[in-house]
Amino acid sequence: MIEIHDNPKLADVWVAMAEHFLDTETRHDIPMTALCCIEAGLGIAEARDVWRYEVSPAVGFNLSDVAGEWAGWDRDWLVERIERLRKRWDNAPWTARAMRYHVRAHALDGVWRAIERHMEVLTSLEKHELRAKAARDMTMLARHAFDFCPQDLNALPEDVLNRLRALFPEPFMHAMAPAFVGRDEERAARVRIEFAFQVR
């Protein structure tokens, strides 16, 4: 287990991941969450453990709360809560924590798998600046995909638009696929993005 005093960027990962447990649309931030994991030096397996056994136990309750938190988590509260949960005996690797994860937060497992796929795409790029650009570009595509305050593509410089076109449909649609709720949402997302390109 990575200790936060050895890797202070771990707290940034906790915050980024916890946002996906809010009672609002956050799937457009999946690419940036993936980038946050990479910048903290986490591999996919390490990031998966953080998602399942640190963040999910801390904020997974919000998935079943009728009036769930939607405005955002207090960073200090979140860090303290996760550090406390990490020390509990029933969250040790040899316990039934995997079963508890599937009971508690399985509904968001598609979001995790999309984060994982975005990590794969981003780590295939060697330079940090290329990863950061790709994460921002995929976030822009995701805003169109989930119809969450998308930026008008007509206002973008041609070089940015060309980068977006290079990411769509692949690798973007493959990376985001697990986060879509059914084929209908995936088809609608594809149509919205295609339309945004055509308007240009």
Measured distance CA(105)–CA(154) in Å, rounded: 39
Question: Considering the domain boundaries, does residue 50 fall inside one?
Answer: yes
Q: Provide the pLDDT for residue 62.
A: 87
Residues 31 and 97 in one domain: yes
Rg over CA atoms, the chain: 17
Say whether both 97 and 45 belong to one domain: yes
> Does residue 1 fall inside a structural domain?
no
pLDDT of 6 reads 63
The residue among 54, 80, 109 that closes a domain is 109
Do 104 and 57 lie in a common domain?
Answer: yes
What is the torsion angle, in degrees rounded to the nearest 10, for the CA atoms of residue 107, residue 112, residue 115 and residue 121? -110
Query: What's residue 199's pLDDT?
Result: 66
Q: Is residue 142 part of a domain?
A: yes
For residue 90, the model assigns a pLDDT of 74
Query: What is the dihedral angle through the alpha carbons of 38, 39, 41, 44, rounded to the nearest 10 degrees?
Result: -10
Domain boundary among 58, 80, 109: 109
Helix (H, G, I), strand (E, B) or coil at 73: coil
Co-location of 57 and 16 in the same domain:
yes
Residues 36 and 101 in one domain: yes
Residues 137 and 171 in one domain: yes
Residue 192 lies in a domain: yes
What range defines the domain where residue 179 resides? 127-199
Please report which confidence band the pLDDT of residue 64 belongs to, taking 50, 70 and 90 as the band edges: confident
| Residues 156 and 103 reside in one and the same domain | no
> Are residues 102 and 21 both part of a single domain?
yes
Same domain for 20 and 84? yes
| C-alpha span between 77 and 73 (Å, rounded) | 8
**Pair (45, 99) in one structural domain:** yes
Which pLDDT score is estimated for 105?
A: 66
Q: Give the residue carrying structure tokens 């919205």.
A: 192
Tell me the pLDDT tens digit for each residue of 17-41. Answer: 999 999 999 999 999 999 999 999 9
Tokens of 178: 């697990």
pLDDT at 121 (0 to 100): 98
Instruction: For the chain, count helices (H), then strands (E).
Output: 11, 0
What span, in angstroms and rounded, lies between the C-alpha atoms of 174 and 121? 10
Indicate whether 31 and 84 sit together in one domain: yes
Whether the predicted pLDDT of 180 surpasses 90: yes
Per cent of the chain over pLDDT 90 is 73
Are 99 and 21 within one domain? yes
Q: How many domains does the chain have?
A: 2
Q: Which of 74, 109, 144 is the last residue of a domain?
A: 109
User: Please, are residues 20 and 108 in contact by the beta-carbon 8 Å criterion?
Assistant: yes
List pLDDT tens digits, range 133-172: 999 999 999 999 999 999 899 889 999 999 999 999 999 9
Position 124 scores a pLDDT of 97
> Residues near 4 by Cβ (< 8 Å), separated by ≥ 6?
10, 11, 79, 83
26 falls within a domain = yes
In a domain, 19, yes or no: yes
Confidence of residue 195 (pLDDT cuts 50, 70, 90): very high
- What does the pLDDT look like over 77-118, one tens digit per residue? 999 999 998 888 777 776 677 777 777 767 789 999 999 999
